[in-house]
Structure 1
C-alpha cells in the first residue's frame, strides 16, 4: 500500500485467538520508509479495519501523511464507538474516556470526542449522576457507597446539583436502613455485628447503621416477648 518510495500495511488480530478476559486486541500499522527501519504502531482494531478498507483510495506518500489519515480514522472510529455505547445506556465523561483508552485510542483523540459528546448533549455528567443516585438509592445503597462509586466514574457527590436536598432526607436515613434490615431474616450468631456489616457495606454511615440495627433488634425482641 502506498507510493513506491513509501509503503505501509495493517495487520488485524486473529479473532479466534481472542479471550474476553484479556485486554482489548490491537491492530498493527506497519510503516516501511525506504531510508529508515520498519516501524510498527499499535492502533485500535476498528481504526486498522477502516484504514485497510480505504487503502486503495488513500494517496499517502509519507509518514506524516499516513499519520494524518490515521488520526482522521481514529477520530471517526472513536466517535462511532461513543455513539454505540451511549445508545445502550448513559455514561459519564470519565467512563467514556476509560472505555476508549481500553480500546487503544490516544489521549488527544479521546479528549476530542468526549468534548464533542459533552458539547452536543450526548452525555451530561449532571444528568448521569442524578439518574445514578436515584437508581442506587432505590436499590438500598447508602450515601458513602454512592459517593465512592461516583468518584470512580469521575464525579464527586458534593458537586452534583441538588445534593442532598433533592435526593434524600438526612432525617430519614435510619428509617431507610431499617427497611433494608426488615427484609432480611435475623442471622445466627452475632446478629448485631452481621447486621452492622451489612449496612456499612451498603454505604450507610456507622451512626445510622447502629441506630437502625438497634431498632431492628429491639423490634424482634419485643415481638418474641409477646
Structure 2
C-alpha cells in the first residue's frame, strides 16, 4: 500500500470513527479524494477488517435512532436503508431489533400527540388525518387502522 493510500486509509478510518457509515458513503468520500476502483475496495476491506465499517452495526443504529427519536415506522426505515445500499440480512436484523410492543406503543403515542394538534370535530376527518400522518411516518396501514380502531373503544 502506497503512502498516499495509507494516508487515505487513516482519513477514512477517522471518517468512520466519527459515526457509523455505509460502504456507499465511504466509497463516495473516497471518490472525492480521487481514489477509485481496486484502491478504494482495498481501503474499504481494510476498514471492515479493522472494525471501522460494519453495515450491520450501521443498519441497527440507524433503525433504532430513527424509530426512537423521529418516530419512523418500519416501511420508512426500510426505504431509507435501501437507498443507502442496505438490504437482506442487515436490513432484517435492524428491523428485528425493534420490539413489537415498543413499535405499537410509539405509534399510539404519535397518534395521541397528533390528535391534540388537530382542530376538527368531525371524527371521520380526524381519523383520516391521523391515518395519513401515520402513513407518512412509515407505519403499516393494517396496524394504523388497528390502533385507530382501538382508540374509539
Q: For this structure pair, what is the TM-score category when the shorter chain's length is used for normalisation?
A: 0.7 to 0.9
Give the gaps of 5 or more residues in structure 1: 1-70, 220-226
- Structure scoring higher RCO (CA < 8 A, sep ≥ 6) equals 2
When normalised by structure 2's length, the TM-score is: 0.78
Q: Please tell me whether the aligned partners of residues 76 and 139 of structure 2 are also in contact (alpha carbons under 8 angstroms).
A: yes
| 90 and 162 in structure 1: CA distance in 2 versus 1, 3 angstrom threshold | closer
| Structure 2 gap ranges (5+) | none
- For 2:45 and 2:78, the matched residues in 1 are separated by 24
Give the structure with the higher percent helix. 2
- Given the alignment, which residue of 188, 196, 199 partners 2:119? 188
C-alpha RMSD over aligned residues: 2.6
Aligned residues: 146
| Bigger strand fraction | 1
Contact kept, 8 Å, 1:145 with 1:204, in 2: the verdict is yes
The 4+ residue runs of structure 1 with deviation greater than 3 A are 71-74, 161-166, 171-175, 213-216
Matches within 5 A, 1:98-177: 98-139=28-69, 140-156=71-87, 158-160=88-90, 162=93, 164-169=95-100, 173-177=103-107
Q: Matches of 1:209 and 1:99 in 2, distance apart?
A: 39
- Higher gyration radius (CA): 1
